[in-house]
Amino acid sequence: MRQGMHWWRFVAIAGIAAAVLTVVAAPATAQVKIRFQTWHWNEKPWVNSLEEFQKTFNQANPGIEVVRDDSRYGDKEAVFTTQSQAKAAADIPHFSYRPIRHFADRGYLLDLSPFIEKEGGQKYLAQWDPQALEICKYKGKIYCLPDDLNPLVLMYNTQHFKEAGLDPAKPPATWDQFLDYGRKLTRAGRYGVGILGARQEGVFMRFNPWLWGAGGDYLTPDEKRSALDTPEALEGFKFYVELFTKHKVVPPGVIEQGAQEVRTQLAHEKVSMIITLPAAPGIVQAINPNMKVREVMALAPVPVGKKKVTSAWFSLRVISAFTKNPEAAWKVYKAWYDKDSQMRNFKIAGVLSSRLDVRNAPEVKADKYAQVFSAQTPYVKLEPLVPEWPKIGDAMLTAIQEGLTGVKTPEAALKGAHEATNRALGVQ
Protein backbone atom coordinates (compact mmCIF):
# COMPACT_ATOMS: atom_id res chain seq x y z
CA MET A 1 0.00 0.00 0.00
CA ARG A 2 2.74 2.39 1.03
CA GLN A 3 4.78 1.38 -2.02
CA GLY A 4 1.67 1.94 -4.20
CA MET A 5 1.27 5.48 -2.90
CA HIS A 6 4.87 6.27 -3.83
CA TRP A 7 4.23 4.90 -7.30
CA TRP A 8 1.19 7.15 -7.80
CA ARG A 9 3.09 10.15 -6.48
CA PHE A 10 5.86 9.42 -8.95
CA VAL A 11 3.41 9.19 -11.87
CA ALA A 12 1.71 12.42 -10.81
CA ILE A 13 4.98 14.36 -10.49
CA ALA A 14 6.25 12.95 -13.79
CA GLY A 15 2.97 13.91 -15.45
CA ILE A 16 3.09 17.48 -14.15
CA ALA A 17 6.74 17.79 -15.14
CA ALA A 18 5.98 16.49 -18.62
CA ALA A 19 3.11 18.95 -18.99
CA VAL A 20 5.29 21.87 -17.85
CA LEU A 21 8.07 20.82 -20.20
CA THR A 22 5.64 20.50 -23.08
CA VAL A 23 4.33 24.01 -22.49
CA VAL A 24 7.82 25.48 -22.11
CA ALA A 25 9.33 23.61 -25.02
CA ALA A 26 6.36 24.18 -27.38
CA PRO A 27 6.85 26.89 -29.97
CA ALA A 28 5.24 30.18 -29.12
CA THR A 29 1.74 30.50 -30.52
CA ALA A 30 1.69 32.44 -33.76
CA GLN A 31 0.67 36.01 -33.08
CA VAL A 32 -0.33 37.02 -36.58
CA LYS A 33 -2.24 35.03 -39.18
CA ILE A 34 -1.71 35.96 -42.81
CA ARG A 35 -4.39 34.69 -45.20
CA PHE A 36 -2.66 33.47 -48.34
CA GLN A 37 -5.37 33.24 -50.98
CA THR A 38 -5.22 31.29 -54.21
CA TRP A 39 -7.33 28.86 -56.21
CA HIS A 40 -4.39 26.45 -56.33
CA TRP A 41 -4.88 25.15 -52.78
CA ASN A 42 -7.03 22.35 -54.16
CA GLU A 43 -5.08 21.69 -57.32
CA LYS A 44 -2.25 19.31 -57.90
CA PRO A 45 0.64 19.85 -58.40
CA TRP A 46 0.51 23.46 -57.14
CA VAL A 47 -0.84 22.52 -53.75
CA ASN A 48 2.35 20.59 -53.01
CA SER A 49 4.45 23.65 -53.65
CA LEU A 50 2.12 25.85 -51.60
CA GLU A 51 2.10 23.49 -48.65
CA GLU A 52 5.86 23.28 -48.71
CA PHE A 53 6.08 27.08 -48.69
CA GLN A 54 3.55 27.30 -45.86
CA LYS A 55 5.41 24.73 -43.79
CA THR A 56 8.83 26.24 -44.37
CA PHE A 57 7.70 29.78 -43.64
CA ASN A 58 5.74 28.90 -40.51
CA GLN A 59 8.66 26.94 -39.08
CA ALA A 60 11.10 29.78 -39.70
CA ASN A 61 8.76 32.54 -38.46
CA PRO A 62 7.09 31.59 -35.18
CA GLY A 63 5.40 35.00 -34.83
CA ILE A 64 3.56 34.73 -38.15
CA GLU A 65 1.35 31.96 -39.43
CA VAL A 66 0.54 31.59 -43.10
CA VAL A 67 -2.98 30.19 -43.35
CA ARG A 68 -4.58 28.89 -46.52
CA ASP A 69 -7.46 30.84 -47.97
CA ASP A 70 -9.20 29.10 -50.85
CA SER A 71 -10.62 30.93 -53.80
CA ARG A 72 -12.13 29.55 -56.97
CA TYR A 73 -10.52 30.39 -60.29
CA GLY A 74 -13.83 31.36 -61.87
CA ASP A 75 -14.88 33.86 -59.23
CA LYS A 76 -11.67 34.94 -57.55
CA GLU A 77 -12.27 38.57 -58.55
CA ALA A 78 -15.86 38.43 -57.30
CA VAL A 79 -14.72 37.05 -53.94
CA PHE A 80 -11.98 39.65 -53.60
CA THR A 81 -14.34 42.49 -54.58
CA THR A 82 -16.92 41.43 -52.02
CA GLN A 83 -14.32 40.94 -49.32
CA SER A 84 -12.72 44.29 -50.11
CA GLN A 85 -16.05 46.10 -49.98
CA ALA A 86 -16.40 44.62 -46.50
CA LYS A 87 -12.76 45.54 -45.77
CA ALA A 88 -12.12 41.89 -44.98
CA ALA A 89 -10.10 40.65 -47.94
CA ALA A 90 -7.39 38.02 -47.66
CA ASP A 91 -4.01 39.55 -46.85
CA ILE A 92 -2.33 38.15 -49.96
CA PRO A 93 -4.66 37.31 -52.86
CA HIS A 94 -3.70 35.88 -56.24
CA PHE A 95 -4.96 37.07 -59.67
CA SER A 96 -4.12 37.19 -63.30
CA TYR A 97 -2.72 40.53 -64.43
CA ARG A 98 -6.03 41.67 -65.94
CA PRO A 99 -7.89 43.18 -62.95
CA ILE A 100 -4.92 44.71 -61.13
CA ARG A 101 -5.50 48.27 -62.31
CA HIS A 102 -9.24 48.10 -61.60
CA PHE A 103 -8.53 47.01 -58.08
CA ALA A 104 -5.87 49.70 -57.66
CA ASP A 105 -8.35 52.35 -58.83
CA ARG A 106 -10.90 51.04 -56.33
CA GLY A 107 -8.39 51.36 -53.50
CA TYR A 108 -8.32 47.63 -52.80
CA LEU A 109 -4.54 47.19 -53.14
CA LEU A 110 -1.68 48.19 -50.89
CA ASP A 111 1.03 50.32 -52.49
CA LEU A 112 4.18 48.24 -52.07
CA SER A 113 6.57 51.10 -52.86
CA PRO A 114 7.58 51.80 -49.22
CA PHE A 115 8.45 48.14 -48.62
CA ILE A 116 10.36 47.91 -51.88
CA GLU A 117 12.32 51.04 -51.03
CA LYS A 118 13.37 49.44 -47.75
CA GLU A 119 14.55 46.34 -49.64
CA GLY A 120 16.78 48.41 -51.90
CA GLY A 121 14.41 50.01 -54.40
CA GLN A 122 15.51 49.64 -58.01
CA LYS A 123 18.21 47.12 -57.10
CA TYR A 124 15.57 44.90 -55.53
CA LEU A 125 13.22 45.28 -58.49
CA ALA A 126 16.01 44.50 -60.96
CA GLN A 127 15.60 40.84 -60.01
CA TRP A 128 12.39 40.61 -62.10
CA ASP A 129 11.63 40.61 -65.80
CA PRO A 130 11.23 44.34 -66.56
CA GLN A 131 8.39 43.76 -69.06
CA ALA A 132 6.42 41.80 -66.46
CA LEU A 133 7.19 44.35 -63.78
CA GLU A 134 5.68 47.15 -65.84
CA ILE A 135 2.22 45.64 -65.35
CA CYS A 136 2.59 46.14 -61.59
CA LYS A 137 3.38 49.86 -61.91
CA TYR A 138 0.38 52.13 -62.08
CA LYS A 139 -0.02 55.84 -61.48
CA GLY A 140 3.40 56.12 -59.86
CA LYS A 141 2.87 53.24 -57.44
CA ILE A 142 3.82 49.57 -57.38
CA TYR A 143 0.98 47.22 -56.54
CA CYS A 144 2.58 43.83 -57.08
CA LEU A 145 5.58 41.80 -58.03
CA PRO A 146 5.23 39.58 -61.10
CA ASP A 147 4.89 35.92 -60.29
CA ASP A 148 4.75 33.57 -63.25
CA LEU A 149 4.95 34.94 -66.77
CA ASN A 150 4.47 31.82 -68.84
CA PRO A 151 4.23 31.81 -72.64
CA LEU A 152 1.73 29.45 -74.16
CA VAL A 153 2.87 26.68 -76.49
CA LEU A 154 1.52 23.69 -78.36
CA MET A 155 1.42 20.44 -76.39
CA TYR A 156 0.90 17.23 -78.34
CA ASN A 157 0.74 13.49 -77.91
CA THR A 158 3.66 11.91 -79.74
CA GLN A 159 2.03 8.46 -79.73
CA HIS A 160 -0.95 9.84 -81.61
CA PHE A 161 1.42 11.43 -84.11
CA LYS A 162 3.05 8.06 -84.75
CA GLU A 163 -0.32 6.34 -85.10
CA ALA A 164 -1.37 8.95 -87.66
CA GLY A 165 1.88 8.56 -89.61
CA LEU A 166 3.21 11.95 -88.47
CA ASP A 167 6.76 12.57 -87.30
CA PRO A 168 6.68 13.59 -83.61
CA ALA A 169 9.95 15.45 -84.14
CA LYS A 170 8.26 17.69 -86.70
CA PRO A 171 5.29 19.34 -85.01
CA PRO A 172 3.10 21.68 -87.07
CA ALA A 173 4.88 24.97 -87.60
CA THR A 174 2.33 26.83 -89.70
CA TRP A 175 -1.45 27.20 -89.60
CA ASP A 176 -1.85 25.07 -92.72
CA GLN A 177 0.24 22.31 -91.18
CA PHE A 178 -1.69 22.61 -87.92
CA LEU A 179 -4.98 22.12 -89.73
CA ASP A 180 -3.56 19.28 -91.79
CA TYR A 181 -2.24 17.54 -88.66
CA GLY A 182 -5.56 18.16 -86.91
CA ARG A 183 -7.42 16.38 -89.69
CA LYS A 184 -4.99 13.45 -89.76
CA LEU A 185 -5.15 13.06 -85.99
CA THR A 186 -8.96 13.06 -85.95
CA ARG A 187 -10.29 9.51 -86.00
CA ALA A 188 -12.97 7.43 -84.28
CA GLY A 189 -13.42 8.64 -80.70
CA ARG A 190 -10.49 11.03 -80.91
CA TYR A 191 -10.03 14.57 -82.17
CA GLY A 192 -6.96 16.36 -83.45
CA VAL A 193 -7.33 19.59 -81.51
CA GLY A 194 -8.75 20.65 -78.15
CA ILE A 195 -9.88 24.27 -77.94
CA LEU A 196 -11.78 26.28 -75.33
CA GLY A 197 -15.20 27.82 -75.75
CA ALA A 198 -16.51 28.10 -72.17
CA ARG A 199 -17.12 31.46 -70.56
CA GLN A 200 -13.84 31.86 -68.73
CA GLU A 201 -10.79 34.05 -69.04
CA GLY A 202 -8.66 31.05 -70.00
CA VAL A 203 -10.20 31.26 -73.47
CA PHE A 204 -8.30 34.45 -74.29
CA MET A 205 -4.90 32.90 -73.77
CA ARG A 206 -5.74 30.12 -76.22
CA PHE A 207 -7.58 32.33 -78.69
CA ASN A 208 -5.21 35.31 -78.81
CA PRO A 209 -2.37 33.57 -80.68
CA TRP A 210 -4.75 33.06 -83.61
CA LEU A 211 -6.14 36.60 -83.54
CA TRP A 212 -2.72 38.18 -83.20
CA GLY A 213 -1.04 35.59 -85.42
CA ALA A 214 -3.26 36.65 -88.31
CA GLY A 215 -2.18 40.25 -87.74
CA GLY A 216 -5.41 41.24 -86.01
CA ASP A 217 -5.92 42.89 -82.66
CA TYR A 218 -8.60 43.90 -80.22
CA LEU A 219 -7.94 47.63 -80.30
CA THR A 220 -6.32 50.25 -82.49
CA PRO A 221 -2.76 51.19 -81.45
CA ASP A 222 -4.03 54.23 -79.50
CA GLU A 223 -6.46 51.91 -77.66
CA LYS A 224 -9.35 54.27 -78.39
CA ARG A 225 -11.40 52.11 -80.79
CA SER A 226 -12.08 48.52 -81.66
CA ALA A 227 -9.84 46.93 -84.29
CA LEU A 228 -12.02 43.85 -84.63
CA ASP A 229 -13.41 45.02 -87.97
CA THR A 230 -10.17 44.35 -89.86
CA PRO A 231 -9.80 41.46 -92.34
CA GLU A 232 -6.87 40.19 -90.24
CA ALA A 233 -8.99 39.97 -87.09
CA LEU A 234 -11.68 38.12 -89.03
CA GLU A 235 -9.11 35.70 -90.45
CA GLY A 236 -7.83 34.79 -86.98
CA PHE A 237 -11.36 34.54 -85.58
CA LYS A 238 -12.56 32.36 -88.44
CA PHE A 239 -9.57 30.06 -88.17
CA TYR A 240 -10.32 29.45 -84.50
CA VAL A 241 -14.06 28.82 -84.76
CA GLU A 242 -13.86 26.89 -88.02
CA LEU A 243 -11.56 24.33 -86.42
CA PHE A 244 -14.83 23.21 -84.86
CA THR A 245 -17.60 24.30 -87.21
CA LYS A 246 -16.02 23.57 -90.59
CA HIS A 247 -13.02 21.31 -90.19
CA LYS A 248 -14.52 19.19 -87.38
CA VAL A 249 -11.16 18.55 -85.72
CA VAL A 250 -12.45 19.61 -82.26
CA PRO A 251 -14.66 17.47 -79.98
CA PRO A 252 -18.36 18.34 -79.63
CA GLY A 253 -19.55 20.43 -76.71
CA VAL A 254 -16.78 22.96 -77.29
CA ILE A 255 -18.54 25.82 -75.51
CA GLU A 256 -18.69 23.66 -72.41
CA GLN A 257 -14.93 23.14 -72.47
CA GLY A 258 -12.76 25.22 -70.15
CA ALA A 259 -9.02 24.86 -69.63
CA GLN A 260 -9.30 21.95 -67.23
CA GLU A 261 -11.76 20.06 -69.43
CA VAL A 262 -9.45 20.37 -72.42
CA ARG A 263 -6.44 19.21 -70.39
CA THR A 264 -8.58 16.30 -69.21
CA GLN A 265 -9.35 15.44 -72.82
CA LEU A 266 -5.62 15.44 -73.56
CA ALA A 267 -4.87 13.37 -70.46
CA HIS A 268 -7.46 10.78 -71.48
CA GLU A 269 -6.38 10.80 -75.12
CA LYS A 270 -9.60 12.27 -76.47
CA VAL A 271 -7.60 15.01 -78.19
CA SER A 272 -4.05 15.10 -79.53
CA MET A 273 -3.00 18.76 -79.51
CA ILE A 274 -3.79 21.69 -77.24
CA ILE A 275 -2.43 25.18 -76.63
CA THR A 276 -1.28 25.29 -73.05
CA LEU A 277 0.93 26.65 -70.28
CA PRO A 278 4.00 25.29 -68.43
CA ALA A 279 2.06 23.76 -65.58
CA ALA A 280 0.12 21.56 -68.01
CA PRO A 281 2.45 18.53 -67.97
CA GLY A 282 2.10 18.31 -64.19
CA ILE A 283 -1.65 18.77 -64.36
CA VAL A 284 -2.06 16.17 -67.09
CA GLN A 285 0.03 13.78 -65.00
CA ALA A 286 -2.20 14.44 -61.99
CA ILE A 287 -5.33 13.82 -64.06
CA ASN A 288 -4.02 10.59 -65.50
CA PRO A 289 -1.35 9.08 -63.23
CA ASN A 290 -1.02 6.11 -65.58
CA MET A 291 0.25 8.22 -68.44
CA LYS A 292 4.02 8.65 -68.78
CA VAL A 293 3.62 12.32 -69.56
CA ARG A 294 7.26 13.25 -69.99
CA GLU A 295 7.69 10.44 -72.49
CA VAL A 296 4.43 10.82 -74.35
CA MET A 297 3.86 14.58 -74.44
CA ALA A 298 6.02 16.98 -76.38
CA LEU A 299 5.96 20.75 -76.70
CA ALA A 300 6.44 23.10 -79.62
CA PRO A 301 5.88 26.78 -80.37
CA VAL A 302 2.36 27.82 -81.35
CA PRO A 303 2.06 27.43 -85.16
CA VAL A 304 2.83 30.66 -86.95
CA GLY A 305 0.41 32.54 -89.19
CA LYS A 306 1.39 35.93 -90.53
CA LYS A 307 3.08 36.92 -87.27
CA LYS A 308 5.06 34.93 -84.75
CA VAL A 309 3.31 35.70 -81.49
CA THR A 310 1.95 33.96 -78.45
CA SER A 311 -0.03 34.88 -75.38
CA ALA A 312 0.91 34.18 -71.79
CA TRP A 313 -0.42 33.09 -68.48
CA PHE A 314 0.70 35.87 -66.18
CA SER A 315 -0.33 35.81 -62.56
CA LEU A 316 0.70 37.90 -59.62
CA ARG A 317 0.00 38.37 -55.99
CA VAL A 318 -0.95 41.57 -54.22
CA ILE A 319 -1.37 42.71 -50.64
CA SER A 320 -4.84 43.85 -49.65
CA ALA A 321 -5.17 47.50 -48.67
CA PHE A 322 -7.25 46.27 -45.74
CA THR A 323 -4.67 43.97 -44.22
CA LYS A 324 -4.36 44.56 -40.51
CA ASN A 325 -0.74 43.45 -40.53
CA PRO A 326 1.04 45.04 -43.47
CA GLU A 327 4.53 44.33 -42.12
CA ALA A 328 3.82 40.65 -41.55
CA ALA A 329 2.03 40.41 -44.89
CA TRP A 330 5.04 41.90 -46.64
CA LYS A 331 7.31 39.38 -44.89
CA VAL A 332 5.21 36.50 -46.21
CA TYR A 333 4.89 38.17 -49.61
CA LYS A 334 8.65 38.65 -49.88
CA ALA A 335 9.27 35.05 -48.84
CA TRP A 336 6.96 33.76 -51.59
CA TYR A 337 8.87 35.80 -54.14
CA ASP A 338 12.36 34.80 -53.00
CA LYS A 339 14.54 32.63 -55.17
CA ASP A 340 14.08 29.42 -53.18
CA SER A 341 10.28 29.58 -53.21
CA GLN A 342 10.12 30.41 -56.89
CA MET A 343 12.59 27.64 -57.73
CA ARG A 344 10.57 25.19 -55.66
CA ASN A 345 7.46 26.27 -57.55
CA PHE A 346 9.22 25.44 -60.79
CA LYS A 347 10.43 22.06 -59.56
CA ILE A 348 7.06 20.99 -58.19
CA ALA A 349 4.56 22.72 -60.48
CA GLY A 350 6.67 23.43 -63.54
CA VAL A 351 5.86 27.14 -63.26
CA LEU A 352 8.32 29.58 -64.80
CA SER A 353 9.10 32.47 -62.51
CA SER A 354 9.43 36.09 -63.56
CA ARG A 355 12.54 36.24 -61.43
CA LEU A 356 15.50 36.42 -63.77
CA ASP A 357 17.80 34.38 -61.54
CA VAL A 358 15.25 31.53 -61.51
CA ARG A 359 14.45 31.75 -65.19
CA ASN A 360 18.17 31.64 -66.00
CA ALA A 361 19.08 28.95 -63.46
CA PRO A 362 20.94 25.99 -65.04
CA GLU A 363 18.31 23.45 -63.97
CA VAL A 364 15.53 25.51 -65.56
CA LYS A 365 17.50 25.96 -68.77
CA ALA A 366 18.24 22.23 -68.88
CA ASP A 367 14.57 21.19 -68.56
CA LYS A 368 13.19 20.02 -71.91
CA TYR A 369 9.80 21.61 -71.36
CA ALA A 370 11.08 24.85 -69.81
CA GLN A 371 13.37 25.31 -72.81
CA VAL A 372 10.42 25.47 -75.18
CA PHE A 373 8.46 27.85 -72.98
CA SER A 374 11.42 30.15 -72.31
CA ALA A 375 12.22 30.37 -76.02
CA GLN A 376 8.76 31.85 -76.62
CA THR A 377 9.10 34.64 -74.05
CA PRO A 378 10.23 37.25 -76.63
CA TYR A 379 7.02 36.66 -78.60
CA VAL A 380 4.65 37.18 -75.72
CA LYS A 381 1.90 39.73 -76.12
CA LEU A 382 -0.69 40.63 -73.49
CA GLU A 383 -4.26 41.85 -73.79
CA PRO A 384 -4.81 45.62 -73.65
CA LEU A 385 -4.82 46.96 -70.10
CA VAL A 386 -7.70 49.33 -70.60
CA PRO A 387 -10.33 49.62 -67.84
CA GLU A 388 -12.97 48.51 -70.33
CA TRP A 389 -11.25 45.15 -70.92
CA PRO A 390 -13.72 43.06 -68.88
CA LYS A 391 -16.58 44.23 -71.12
CA ILE A 392 -14.52 43.84 -74.27
CA GLY A 393 -13.47 40.38 -73.17
CA ASP A 394 -17.06 39.41 -72.45
CA ALA A 395 -18.14 40.65 -75.88
CA MET A 396 -15.38 38.55 -77.40
CA LEU A 397 -16.44 35.47 -75.42
CA THR A 398 -19.99 36.01 -76.64
CA ALA A 399 -18.74 36.26 -80.22
CA ILE A 400 -16.60 33.12 -79.87
CA GLN A 401 -19.56 31.16 -78.51
CA GLU A 402 -21.87 32.52 -81.19
CA GLY A 403 -19.35 31.60 -83.87
CA LEU A 404 -18.71 28.14 -82.45
CA THR A 405 -22.37 27.24 -82.11
CA GLY A 406 -23.54 28.81 -85.36
CA VAL A 407 -25.84 31.30 -83.64
CA LYS A 408 -24.22 33.77 -86.01
CA THR A 409 -21.79 33.56 -88.89
CA PRO A 410 -18.18 34.35 -87.92
CA GLU A 411 -18.53 37.69 -89.70
CA ALA A 412 -21.71 38.63 -87.81
CA ALA A 413 -20.39 37.37 -84.48
CA LEU A 414 -17.17 39.38 -84.76
CA LYS A 415 -19.13 42.41 -85.93
CA GLY A 416 -21.18 42.14 -82.73
CA ALA A 417 -17.98 42.05 -80.66
CA HIS A 418 -16.63 45.02 -82.62
CA GLU A 419 -19.74 47.09 -81.92
CA ALA A 420 -19.85 46.05 -78.26
CA THR A 421 -16.16 46.95 -77.89
CA ASN A 422 -16.75 50.40 -79.34
CA ARG A 423 -19.78 50.85 -77.06
CA ALA A 424 -17.62 49.91 -74.08
CA LEU A 425 -15.00 52.43 -75.17
CA GLY A 426 -17.61 55.15 -75.57
CA VAL A 427 -17.13 55.42 -79.34
CA GLN A 428 -20.23 57.01 -80.91
Which stretches of the chain bind other proteins, using CB under 8 A?
Answer: 75, 77-78, 81-82, 99, 102, 105-106, 197-200, 251-256, 265, 270, 390-391, 394, 397-399, 401-402, 404-408, 413
Distance CA 317, CA 341 (A): 14
Shortest distance in whole angstroms from residue 142 CB to other proteins:
21
Greatest Cα pair distance in the chain? 102
Beta bridge partners of 155: 274, 299
Output 77 or 129, the one with its CB closest to other proteins: 77
Output 249 or 255, the one with its CB closest to other proteins: 255
Alpha helices in 251-407 (DSSP H): 259-267, 280-287, 293-296, 326-336, 339-349, 356-359, 362-366, 368-376, 389-405
Distance CA 93, CA 81 (A): 11
Shortest distance in whole angstroms from residue 109 CB to other proteins:
13
**Helix or strand run (H / E) with residue 297:** strand 297-300
255-290: burial string, b at 16+ Cβ within 10 Å, e else: bebbbbbbbbbbbeeebbbbbbbbbbbbbbbbbbee
What residues contact residue 60 under an 8 Å CB cut-off, 6+ apart? none
Distance CA 316, CA 348 (A): 18
**Preceding omega of 221 cis (within 30 degrees of 0):** no
In degrees, to the nearest 5, what angle opens at C-alpha 203 toward C-alphas 241 and 130?
Answer: 125
Output 215 or 390, the one with its CB closest to other proteins: 390
Shortest distance in whole angstroms from residue 263 CB to other proteins:
14
Please give the single-letter amino acid code of residue 166: L
Output 378 or 406, the one with its CB closest to other proteins: 406
Q: What is the length of the chain?
A: 428
Output 120 or 406, the one with its CB closest to other proteins: 406
Output 76 or 355, the one with its CB closest to other proteins: 76
Shortest distance in whole angstroms from residue 406 CB to other proteins:
6
Output 38 or 265, the one with its CB closest to other proteins: 265
Shortest distance in whole angstroms from residue 51 CB to other proteins:
27
- Inter-axis angle of helices 202-213 and 231-245, nearest 10: 120
Output 225 or 408, the one with its CB closest to other proteins: 408
In degrees, to the nearest 5, what angle opens at C-alpha 12 toward C-alphas 10 and 17?
Answer: 95
Output 69 or 77, the one with its CB closest to other proteins: 77
Shortest distance in whole angstroms from residue 226 CB to other proteins:
16
Shortest distance in whole angstroms from residue 106 CB to other proteins:
7
Please give the single-letter amino acid code of residue 23: V
Please give the single-letter amino acid code of residue 175: W
**Cβ 165 vs Cβ 184: under 8 Å:** yes
